[in-house]
Amino acid sequence: MSGPVSAQDAGDRPAGADPAVDGLEVWAGRKAEVGGFGVTRLLPRRPRRTVGAWCFADHMGPGPVSPGAGMDIGPHPHIGLQTVTWLVHGAVLHRDSLGSEQLIRPGELNLMTAGHGVAHSEETAGIYQGELHGVQLWIAQPAATREGAAQFDHLAELPRVETGSCTATVLIGEYAGARSPARRDTDHSGVELHLSGGPAVLPVPPGYEHALMVLDGALTVGGQGLVPGRLAYLGVGRQEILVEADGPARALLIGGVPFPEPVLMWWNYVARTREEIVAAHRDWSAATPRFGEVASPLPRIDTPGPPWT
Ligand code: MN
C-alpha cells in the first residue's frame, strides 16, 4: 500500500501520546482512496500515532474489482517499516525491487521489510475480479534494523489456536501459546480473530498496548460498540480483553510494547528526522539505485517533496 501519510494524519514532527494504562479510546477512521480503491485509514491518528510498533492501518474495501477498476498501486518507495498485507476476500499481486512476485490470497501473510529502502507495486488489474477486502498495516522498524537490508516474506501457513468461541490466526508474534514464524524486529503481535458470537476472552500480555478493528460483523468492547471503520485503542496493563460479538464476526487485534522511539512519518517513509525523509525522497525522485526497480506494468508513483522543504 502507498500512503500517503500526510500531516493531516500524522503531523510532521516526531511525537507520540503516552500509552494509557487500562485506557480505552474508540475512533472512526478517515475515508481515503489508494490506487483507485476505497480504504478507511484507522492509524496513524493524532495524537496516537503508534500502537506498539504498528504505525499505519488501512482497512481496504470491501469493494469490487472489475477489469476497469480496482486497486492498482504503481511502484513506490518505503523506508524504515514493514508492510503487512492480509486479505479477507480477493487477490493482489505484489512485486518488489528485490525481484519478488507473489500473489496473495486470504489466509496468507505478505510481510515486506523496507530497511534502508525498497520499492513495490500492488496490482489487481488483470489479476482478479470480484470483491476485494483486506487490510494493510505498517510496523515501524527499530533503530537496530531500520537502516538494514530489505526482505520479502510470504507465509501461506500460519498457526491457529482456539480459545472458547474464538479461533485465532497468529500473523505475527505470539497469541495464547501459538507463535507465528514471521520476522519480528520488536515485541509485537498481530492476530485475526474469528468469533462465533457471544462473549470471548482474549488473553493478552499486560506490557502491550492494543488496537482492535472489526473486519466483518460487530463487537462490543468496554461497553462501546465496534463496527468496521472504527478502531478501539486499549492501553497497557490488561491481562485479557473481554469482547462480545453480536454474531459471527471477524476482527484484527494488533498490539505491542509501546514503541520507545518517536517516529516521523511522511508519505511512504517512516523515519526519525526530516533530513532522513528529504534524503529518501530525493533518492526516489532521482531513481537512484537505493530503491531499485520494480518489474511492474504500472507507472511509478512520485509526489512533490515534503511540505517543509
Ligand atoms: Mn506500499
The per-residue DSSP string of 129-141 comes to -EEEEEEEEEEEP
- Band (7; pLDDT cuts 50, 70, 90): low
CA of 152 from ligand 1 middle (Å) equals 12
CA of 132 from ligand 1 middle (Å) equals 17
Higher pLDDT, 9 or 40: 40
CA of 297 from ligand 1 middle (Å) equals 16
CA of 23 from ligand 1 middle (Å) equals 31
Q: What is the pLDDT of residue 14?
A: 47
Mean pLDDT of the chain: 94
- Band (121; pLDDT cuts 50, 70, 90): very high
What the block records as the C-alpha cell of 254 is 494488533
CA of 257 from ligand 1 middle (Å) equals 24
Q: What is the pLDDT of residue 18?
A: 63
- Band (184; pLDDT cuts 50, 70, 90): very high
Average pLDDT over residues 131-150: 98
Q: Where are the alpha helices (DSSP H) in the chain?
A: 7-10, 274-285
Average pLDDT over residues 113-117: 98
Pick from 150, 155, 148, 184: nearest CA to 169 = 155
Q: Is 61 helix (H, G, I), strand (E, B) or coil?
A: strand
- Band (15; pLDDT cuts 50, 70, 90): very low
- Band (67; pLDDT cuts 50, 70, 90): confident
CA of 106 from ligand 1 middle (Å) equals 18
The residue assigned the cell 525522497 is 281
Lowest mean pLDDT among 61-70, 98-107, 226-235: 61-70
Percent of the chain at pLDDT > 90 equals 88
Q: Is 79 helix (H, G, I), strand (E, B) or coil?
A: strand
pLDDT tens readout for residues 160-169: 999 999 999 9
